Amino acid sequence: MTKISFFDTKPYDRTFFDQYVADFGFEIEYFEEKLNAHTAVFAKGSSVVVAFVNDTVDKYCINRLAEYGVGLVALRCAGFNNVDINAAAGKVKVVRVPAYSPYAVAEYTMGLLLTINRKLHKAYNRTREYNFGLNGLTGFDLHGRTIGVVGTGRIGRVFIDICRGFGMKVLAYDMYPVNDAPYEYVSFEHLCENSDIISLHCPLTKQTYHLIDERAIGRMKDGVIILNTSRGALIDSEALLEALKDRKVAGAGLDVYEEEADFFYEDWSDTVIKDDILARLVNLPNVLVSSHQAFLTEEALSNIALTTLNNIKEFADGMPLTNEVTINA
């Protein structure tokens, strides 16, 4: 029987993986700890580890896993920027879930935009205190506004469809444009200069690290709204913070943060957050921060579990790995 060590486990993970694992004949041992070089020891006796976005699968972790006989790192997410793929080559295989539900993330992104623009979070808090005043809750029509979408993979394209449904004009940027797209591809600089709203849907790579920095923000319209449901390090958080304080950026909807691994998915309500930038972002009235939850729908969780288990089955059966991540990925 294939034994799996499952890291950074949350109750909703167990709900969906336990629903299907018996059909595959695997044995899963769940750990709440994140996977890293120190916790890799928990994987002794397993041939597979299941990891998530904020696990640290660096060369030290990979060497430990290989030493303990682990042959496969199965990521239950699409991104793999937290894995040292070069170090994994020849030691352990790496697979991922390239698509679980583009609708989940795209719909959540629109939810962030609507909330930031129409101040829904503020209205909710006010009315719970029986304050029914409308001062300070003015937004703007999305219809006719220009939205710049960075990254036109599955999620980006679904988000574009939603935006077009609102009557918005779409400008798109992608290093690999889609052929015959019903929207306009432009340079990143043009997108920054002409968009009322900018939404990030691209992967984190060396080329996209801090794509939104002080220089890029300087090109943007005054009063732009920035949305990020992809990876936190696409944005230079310090540069964004300064632009928000100066009102160069009118608002930000952030489901990710570049230092989120130390905080997201955990309850820190009884502690003092030592990350000053995160603490200040959370407390700004024109920012909405959520804890990397855009993926969190029943459909997405079900697809994540099934794809991950199928990835492991291919490995256990000695088959080609459909969703393998390699150096050239």
- For the chain, which residues make up each domain, given as ranges? 3-100+297-316, 102-289
Q: CB–CB of 48/74 below 8 Å? A: yes
Same fold for the pair 3-100+297-316 and 102-289 = yes
pLDDT of residue 329: 60
Residue in 60, 63, 39 with CA at minimum distance from that of residue 51: 39
Phi-psi group of 119: left, alpha or beta (phi > 0 → left; psi -120 to 50 → alpha; rest → beta) = left
Residue the block writes with tokens 């001062």: 135
What is the CATH number assigned to the segment(s) 102-289? Answer: 3.40.50.720
Q: What is the pLDDT of residue 138?
A: 97
Tokens read off for 42: 């928990």
Q: Please tell me the predicted confidence (pLDDT) of residue 327.
A: 82
* CA-based nearest residue to 315, from 32, 35, 75: 75
Read off the pTM.
Answer: 0.91
Task: Please give the positions annotated as active site.
Answer: 231, 260, 292
Tell me the CA distances in angstroms from 189 to 36, 96, 283, 327, one per residue in order. Answer: 38, 32, 30, 29
Task: Decide if 88 contacts 42 (C-beta within 8 A).
Answer: no
d(CA 121, CA 126): 9
Residuewise pLDDT in 10s, the chain (329 residues): 899 999 999 999 999 999 999 999 999 999 999 999 999 999 999 999 999 999 999 999 999 999 999 999 999 999 899 999 999 999 999 999 998 999 999 999 999 999 999 999 999 999 999 999 999 999 999 999 999 999 999 999 999 999 999 999 999 999 999 999 999 999 999 999 999 999 999 999 999 999 999 999 999 999 999 999 999 999 999 999 999 999 999 999 999 999 998 899 889 999 999 999 999 999 999 999 999 999 999 999 999 999 999 999 999 999 999 999 998 76
> Which CATH architecture fits 3-100+297-316?
3-Layer(aba) Sandwich (3.40)
C-alpha–C-alpha distance, residues 163 and 169, integer Å: 8
What's the 3-state SS for the chain? Answer: CCEEEECCCCHHHHHHHHHHHHHHCCEEEECCCCCCCCHHHHHCCCCEEEECCCCCECHHHHHHHHHCCCCEEEECCCCCCCECHHHHCCCCEEECCCCCCHHHHHHHHHHHHHHHHHCHHHHHHHHHCCCCCCCCCCCCCCCCCEEEEECCCHHHHHHHHHHHHCCCEEEEECCCCCCCCCCEECCHHHHHHHCCEEEECCCCCCCCCCCECHHHHHHCCCCEEEEECCCHHHECHHHHHHHHHCCCEEEEEECCCCCHHHCCCCCCCCCCCCCHHHHHHHHCCCEEECCCCCCCCHHHHHHHHHHHHHHHHHHHCCCCCCCECCCCC
CA distance 329 to 148: 26
Cα 284 → chain centroid? 22
User: 119-142 b/e with 16+ CB inside 10 Å = b?
Assistant: beeebeebeeeeeeeeeeeeeeeb
